[in-house]
Amino acid sequence: MKFLGRRFVKAPKYLTPRRLEAVSNWSFTAGTYAASAIVLLLFVTDWRVTNRFIPIYGRKFAEMDKAEEERLN
């Protein structure tokens, strides 16, 4: 039991040391998959607002803007 404010709070039954260890083992993998999914989403959608600030990938938009200005002039 943990003391929280004026009440005692019991830990949930499903929160066992074995499950906490499993979560800690998988947290890095889950974070890696989430980060990869976000990068893939930005690549596939070609979201110009955010991708412009990615160091290497952002050069593509600067070149596209220059080419578009030259084409219009």
pLDDT for 60: 83
Sign of the torsion formed by the C-alpha atoms of 4, 9, 12 and 15: positive
Mean pLDDT by 10 residues, the chain (73 residues): 61 80 91 95 81 82 85 83
Cα–Cα dist 35/50, whole Å: 15
pLDDT for 52: 81
pLDDT for 13: 78
pLDDT for 35: 96
Q: Does the pTM of the predicted model rise above 0.95?
A: no
